[in-house]
Amino acid sequence: MKENSTSESMGLYTDFYELSMAQGYFLAGKKDEETVFDYFYRTNPFEGGFLVFAGLGDFLQSLLAFRYSEENLKFLEKQGFRTEFLDYLRDFSFNGTIYSVREGEIVFPNEPILRVEGNIIEAQLIETMLLNILNFQSLIATKAFRIKMVCGEKSFVDFGLRRAHGTGGLMASRAAIIGGASSTSNVQAGFIYDIPVSGTMAHSWVQSFDDELTAFREYARFNPDSTVLLVDTYDTLRSGVPNAITVAKELETKGNRLVGIRLDSGDLAYLSKKARKMLDCAGLEYVKIFASNQLNEFVIRSLDEQHATIDAYGVGTELITGKPDASLDGVYKLALCDGLPRMKISESIEKMTYPGRKSIYRYFDSEGNFFRDGILLESEDSDQCDCIFNPVHPEKCTIVAGLTRENLHAKVFENQTIVNPLPHPQECQQYLLSRAVLLPEEHKRFIMPHIYKVGSSKELLELRDQLRKKIGGKSS
């Protein structure tokens, strides 16, 4: 991410109540109380079996800029905030520590993906920004990976900026790359994140000329090595593809090659087969066929089942908006304050939070595949944890003794510094692809995926039940 792409002061990137609570903590003398907050989500998006974690890089970069300018403080003064609190904010910066799973990691509901440690004011103030960035990018990255799963070796491009939710399209394009897109049409995102950009032409180019063939020839004249012709402006099979063939042959005489044609309407399976036959009969086997037009993972899978001869896809609206899910239900909950474990009580045990400072361990089966995830207290020795328990039905447990395990948490931020260089979005994509190979197929299917089991250590469950009793809840 470009250093100058983040605003110099982002302290107002928050909800009003966060500042109101922060002022309350300050006036109540609680500003130095040390806390731990957990970020997790409750339900897999798209009725799927997992989530692709994304947004960490943008969040950490934004955290470096989370401070207050004099202009910000004047605005807050007008909102009624007290002078002594504004004086505190004048020199504010986030000085806490953050532990997180890697960006591009495959994660599951209710496990603490990211842990924030810091004083209660700094940890509280960053909540909204954290949720805004991580929830959105994780949603889009997961959608992108679902598309990548059905594309297989074929590539797809993010075409979604014009249908994105305002400037959120910038972060969405980054997340799309992490999830599996080969490039984006979003030039600003390409500049900010150093990700590949690509594009073809619109119908307006063709319409602006007196005839389609002239439009194709002119475009090829200016782009002799990168021409993809949009062939459905008038009549795909009667004029579009024949005119593209003419231009392709003219390019060959000059030592160049037509890269491809694009279909953007009609019966894509039927048209692609007819177009492929026409191109092959003209000796243009190398010309690729690209397709766009309201595509998603289900449409692409259907096209594949119909043996459509499509080489790559452009996916827009459904990818960039995370359709049909409007958002990810990620939450940020207090787990420790002033040295004492804290938790949220609920009538539903599924919605109770885990207290204390925790880590996630991933256990692998004998073939090296993902088997279970376990949530342990950070103080525990993972080698001594032989079983992980179902948090809702603690009488059920899974023996993990002797299994290979991996602590998914690593320190990513400390002392106002990003601990290690942030990986490029394409590096996150490669990490995701390497992890996805280890996730059993039953968790990746679209229809009724198998639920991946996430358990808790006995010590963590005992702490949860003790604390619940102490503050008036019922024991399990």
Structural domains in the chain, sorted by start: 141-320 (3.20.20.70)
In 10 A of CB 445, how many CB atoms? 12
The token duo for 425 is 């979005």
The token duo for 435 is 């992890």
In the numeric block, the tokens 């790359």 are attached to 177
Query: Per-residue pLDDT averaged across 310-332, rounded?
Result: 97
Instruction: Give tens-digit pLDDT for 213-228.
Output: 999 999 999 999 999 9
The confidence band for 421, taking pLDDT boundaries of 50, 70 and 90, is very high
Percent of the chain's residues with pLDDT above 70: 98
Looking at residue 8, what is its pLDDT? 73
Instruction: Give tens-digit pLDDT for 28-43.
Output: 999 999 999 999 999 9
The pTM of this model reads 0.95
Please list the alpha-helical segments (H only) found in 96-202. 120-125, 127-151, 168-179, 187-193
Query: Per-residue pLDDT averaged across 143-171, rounded?
Result: 97
Average pLDDT taken over every residue of the chain: 95
Instruction: Give tens-digit pLDDT for 430-446.
Output: 999 999 999 999 999 99
The answer to whether 289 and 310 have CB atoms below 8 angstroms apart is yes
Nearest to 142 by CA among 29, 67, 227, 51: 51
The answer to whether 471 and 176 have CB atoms below 8 angstroms apart is no
As a 3-state breakdown, the chain gives helix, strand, coil percent values, each rounded to 5, of 40, 20, 40
Looking at residue 5, what is its pLDDT? 43
The confidence band for 473, taking pLDDT boundaries of 50, 70 and 90, is low
Using DSSP's 3-state secondary structure scheme, residue 130 falls into helix
Query: Per-residue pLDDT averaged across 75-79, rounded?
Result: 98
In the numeric block, the tokens 């339900």 are attached to 43
Q: What is the DSSP string of 374-426?
A: EEEETTS-GGG--EEE-SSSTT-EEE-TT-EEEE--EEEEETTEESSPPPPHH
> How many angstroms from the chain centroid is the CA of residue 215?
39
In the numeric block, the tokens 């960035």 are attached to 133
Query: Per-residue pLDDT averaged across 412-418, rounded?
Result: 97
Q: How far is 96 from 392, CA to CA, in rounded Å? A: 32
The confidence band for 2, taking pLDDT boundaries of 50, 70 and 90, is low
| Amino acid symbol at 356 | G
In 10 A of CB 102, how many CB atoms? 18
Query: Per-residue pLDDT averaged across 313-322, rounded?
Result: 97
Query: Per-residue pLDDT averaged across 457-462, rounded?
Result: 96
Instruction: Give tens-digit pLDDT for 82-107.
Output: 999 999 999 999 999 999 999 999 99
Looking at residue 349, what is its pLDDT? 75
